Structure 1
Amino acid sequence: MSAEQVSDTKDDQNTGLSARAQRNQRSIREDGTFNIENKGMPLFRPDDIYLGLLTMPWWKFSLIVISFYVILNSLFAAIYYAIGIDHLTNIEGTTQWEKLLEAFFFSAQSLTTVGYGRVAPVGITTSSVAAIESLLGLLGFALATGLLFGRFSKATAKIVHSTNMLISPFKEGTGLMFRIANMRETQLVEVEVIVTLSKITVEKGREVRRFYQLNLERNKITMFPMAWTVVHPIDETSLLYGLTHEEIKYDDMEFLIYFKGYDETFSQNVHHRISYRADDIVWGARFIVNYELQSNGPTIHYLNKVSDYELTDLPVISIENEKDRKQLVQ
């Protein structure tokens, strides 16, 4: 690509990311979240509690539910104990600790509305506390059930991607490529990928970050049963045409990948984001086939080989292309 063509390339303004130049920092983290931390927000945000409970890891959600259950039962057990254990029938504990434990288990039976019947409240005060606890138990378990349903029914993409991007032989030239695959048993259709190049340029004597959407050999596929190698042809129209690894690294290039597909199981769109930097690019390599055909059986698809590649020779740049490259660098 000539210098005039580079200057005429349209800047992609749809990323939502800042144009202020900052080197050696990813825009998208490895987990697909944006490398942004919001400050200046209120310490207590009730509207975000539900969102947090839906999106937090399972171990953290389980720990919160169990902790809330134990703390609430302990609180009501302490209330029953403070009112007086003699206001609960058929308490068999002899020591104060055993009586407190029986109050705790009675609280658990009231909170879950199980009510085995051996221990029962006596008096208006104790019965009122048990009634309030039963109401809180019904509301609490309804909320927990709704959260569980929301977590299970929330469609999320589980996309495995190659560890590296490769500069590989492609048609009569070279191409920048990476590979993705669906790790879930569910079927994804109408899958689309957008690759945006983030690079630092110098404008009016200062560095700014610009974003350019790269052309792809194919940016959309109807079905996604196996790994898909996404290819950006490095031809005369490419911003990468004739660049070396050092030049890509100097411009602090980052490749932002946005994935979108329709999940047939959940009947919802799913999304995924990844990014690669210059150090993630391997020059002169090609992906190894990660599937095996069988004559009398299904095709074996190896998801653990999505990142596997082998080294290969790249086409030699012609003299005319080398001149264009020097003009571009200058």
Structure 2
Amino acid sequence: MLKSISNLHLNRKKSDDGEQLVDFPSSSGDDASLITKLRKGYQLGRPALVKKTGKYRVTYKGLSSSERRSFALDLFQTLIDLKWRWATLVFVFTFFIVYFVFAVIWYILAKAHGDFENLNNPTWTPCIERAKTFADLLLFSIETQTTIGYGTFYPNTSCSGSLLLVFVQITVGFLLETLLVGFLLVKLSRPKHRRHTLLFSEKALICKEDGDLCLEIRVGDLRKSHLVDTSSFGIFVSEKVSKEGIVYPLYQQQMEFEAHQMQDRVFMMWPLILRHKINEDSPLYEMTFDQMLSNTFELIIILEGTIEATGEICQARTSYSSKDIVWGHRFVNMIDFDNDNGQWSANFEKFNATVPTPTPKCSGKQLAEIYGASSRTNQAQETENLGGTFWRSQSQIITPMTEETSLTKIPDRRPRSYRHSRAPLSFSGFQSQHLEMGRVLNIYK
């Protein structure tokens, strides 16, 4: 497979809307299945670690029997984690088993009392009146535990043990109903279902923002009751080989996301753009344009907040791979003021809409080096044009000293009656009183 991957040449092309796409070559044989997987966003032939819905593709193998028994010790949480089809079966069969067990106990009690041998004896007082078969006792067990009381069957206190058994079954029935109903309520009200009304953009965009190369995604909340104290962060997952040759197939690196200048805090009153600056602290800093499309990494974006109504913590997550990254685009504005009703409105039809924007096809490191060299060149030219005059704190405005003047002249450091907060870059347009004060203090001639 590695050989097949190395033989793949991904040709890039531009679509009609300007998006950068990957054109996978046609192939046959073993490479054909690999290319098909890559078309679907697979990372080196493997599916994404996290689905778009936030579910993980992780299974556990090799668990010992003792480790499996630990799930039974935390039975309540185990039941909550069950899928709904299994949870429904557990709910139904638990009640049925309890009904059946107590029906067997009632049958044993009636059998020991001799009720079935005296079915035709009119003077006989049975434990359960009118119960002649096991089906009758099963119906009586259901009536007793659910307190229905049809009146068809009823116990006689003259039968020893009947009163105690009725008390035990009703007590067990109340306890069982409390546990199972509580289990269903917790399962229905789990905070993870809140994530279905939290939206992530379908694409992750790379564009230039305030001179920095940035990765941007858009998030939104469909509910009016927004999450409280919401924060965001990202995880960069890729393969890593240490200096000692140790391979980490799913190596995690933190990615910082911020909305505007709120750092990792997210105020979800309206849809926001989460921005990750590709700087020295970013795992994407040295990744070039071609490496961004190499399908060898995954970005997991996580939103965490507190549900206002219940106070429970909710987490929503999604993932982006190379097929989800669009270079040189930014999100269109979807917030506008509605003059008709006097409110700000968010048009979710534009939630995933993007527009092209000029973006250099280079890594963040290359962009920083280019801008760094450009800024140093501009600074040198500016210093040369100013003739050596430069910024100076306090009121000292000095000119470059030659070797001769530096040996003969000593700066005057007497207390000055006038102190200027900041010196200018040149003398042009400077007020005459400032010049006169400078001559008096022998700062310059």
TM (norm. structure 2) is 0.55
Deviation at 1:141, TM superposition (A): 1.3
Tell me which residue corresponds to 1:106.
140
Question: Of residues 121, 129, 143 in structure 2, which corresponds to 1:89?
Answer: 129
The aligned residue for residue 153 of structure 2 is 119
Which structure has more relative contact order (CA 8 Å, sep 6+)? It is 1
Which of residues 147, 170, 179 in structure 1 aligns to 2:218? 179
Question: Aligned pair count?
Answer: 297
1:248 equivalent in alignment to 2:287: no
Cα distance change on mapping 1:186 and 1:274 into 2, 3 Å: same
The answer to whether the 8 Å contact 1:153/1:266 transfers is: no
User: Counterpart of 1:264?
Assistant: 308
Answer whether contact 1:253 1:277 (CA < 8 A) is retained: yes
Tell me the residue number matched to 2:253: 212
Counterpart AA for 1:262: T
Distance 2:257 2:152 in 1: 72
Asked whether the 8 Å contact 1:242–1:322 carries over to 2, the reply is: no
- Report the counterpart of residue 88 of structure 2 in structure 1: 62
Aligned-residue offset at 1:212: 3.2
**RMSD between superposed Cα atoms in Å:** 3.9
TM superposition shift of 1:136:
1.5
Map residues 16-165 of structure 1 onto 2, 5 A cutoff.
24=46, 26-38=48-60, 39-41=62-64, 42=66, 43-44=68-69, 45-80=71-106, 83=110, 87-90=127-130, 100=135, 102-122=136-156, 123-151=159-187, 154-156=190-192, 157-158=194-195, 159-165=198-204
Aligned mates of 1:212, 1:140 — CA distance in 2: 46
How far residue 265 of structure 1 moved from its aligned partner, in angstroms, is: 1.6
Distance in 1, Cα, partners of 2:161 & 2:357 = 85
Q: Is the 8 A contact 1:200 1:251 kept in 2?
A: no
**SS in structure 2 at match of 1:279:** helix
Q: How far did residue 50 of structure 1 move?
A: 0.7
SS at match of 1:226: coil
The structure-2 alpha-carbon separation of the partners of 1:70 and 1:296, relative to structure 1 and needing over 3 Å to count, comes to: farther
Q: 1:108 deviation in Å?
A: 1.9
Shift of 1:167: 2.1
AA matched with 1:49: L
Whether the 8 Å contact between 1:167 and 1:177 is mirrored in structure 2 is: yes
Secondary structure, in 3 states, of the residue corresponding to 1:194? strand
1: CA distance between counterparts of 2:174 and 2:307?
A: 34
Q: Structure 2 counterpart of 1:40, which letter?
A: L
- Confirm or deny: 8 A CA contact 1:189 1:221 kept in the other structure: no
Q: Which is further off, 209-218 or 105-114? A: 209-218
* Unpaired segments ≥5 residues, structure 2: 1-42, 120-126, 371-445
Structure 1 residues 283 and 120, CA, compared in 2 at 3 Å: closer, same or farther? same
Residues 191 and 221 in structure 1, CA contact (< 8 A), matched pair in contact too: yes
2:205 to 166, 172, 177: 166
Structure 2 Cα separation of the partners of residues 186 and 246 of structure 1: 42
Q: What's the secondary structure of 1:111's corresponding residue? A: helix
Q: Which piece of structure 1 moves more, 209-218 or 130-139?
A: 209-218
Kept in 2, the 8 Å contact 1:285–1:309? The answer is no
Q: How far off its partner does 1:193 sit?
A: 0.8
Distance apart, 1:230 and its partner CA: 0.8
Which residue of the partner structure matches residue 10 of structure 1? none
Please report how far the alpha carbon of residue 191 of structure 1 lies from its aligned counterpart in structure 2 after TM superposition: 1.4
Assess if the C-alpha contact under 8 Å between 1:174 and 1:314 holds in 2.
Answer: no
Q: CA deviation at 1:182?
A: 2.9
Q: Give the CA deviation at 1:313.
A: 4.0
Where does residue 443 of structure 2 map in the other structure?
Answer: none
Offset of 1:137 from its aligned partner?
Answer: 0.3
> How far apart are 1:183 and its partner, in Å?
4.3
Q: Displacement of 1:283 after TM fit?
A: 2.6
Q: Sort the Cα spacing of 1:234 and 1:63 in 2 relative to 1 into closer, same or farther, 3 A.
A: same
Counterpart-to-counterpart distance in 2, 1:111 and 1:305: 57
Q: Which amino acid aligns with 2:129?
A: T
Letter of the structure 2 residue corresponding to residue 67 of structure 1: F
1:188 is displaced (CA, Å) by 1.2
What percentage of residue pairs aligned between the two structures are identical?
A: 20
How far apart are 1:146 and its partner, in Å?
A: 3.2
Report the TM-score, using the length of structure 1 for normalisation: 0.71
Cα gap change, 1:116 to 1:140, in 2 (>3 Å): same
- SS of 1:46's partner is helix
Contact 1:113 1:137 in 2 (8 A): no
Distance 1:313 1:242 in 2: 21
Change (3 A) 1:217 1:138: closer
Aligned partner of residue 74 in structure 2, secondary structure: helix
Question: How far apart in 2 are the matches of 1:309 and 1:303?
Answer: 9
Task: For 2:73 and 2:167, locate their aligned partners in 1 and report how far apart those are by CA, in whole Å.
Answer: 29
Q: Does the 8 Å CA contact 1:189/1:222 hold for their aligned counterparts?
A: no
Q: Which amino acid aligns with 1:89?
A: E
The Cα of 1:140 is off from its aligned counterpart by: 0.4
Q: Secondary structure at the match of 2:302?
A: strand
Q: Is the 8 A contact 2:128 2:155 kept in 1?
A: yes
Secondary structure of the structure 2 residue equivalent to 1:124: coil
What is the rounded CA distance, in whole Å, between the counterparts of 1:117 and 1:244 in structure 2? 81
Structure 2 CA distance for partners of 1:72 and 1:88, relative to 1, 3 Å: same
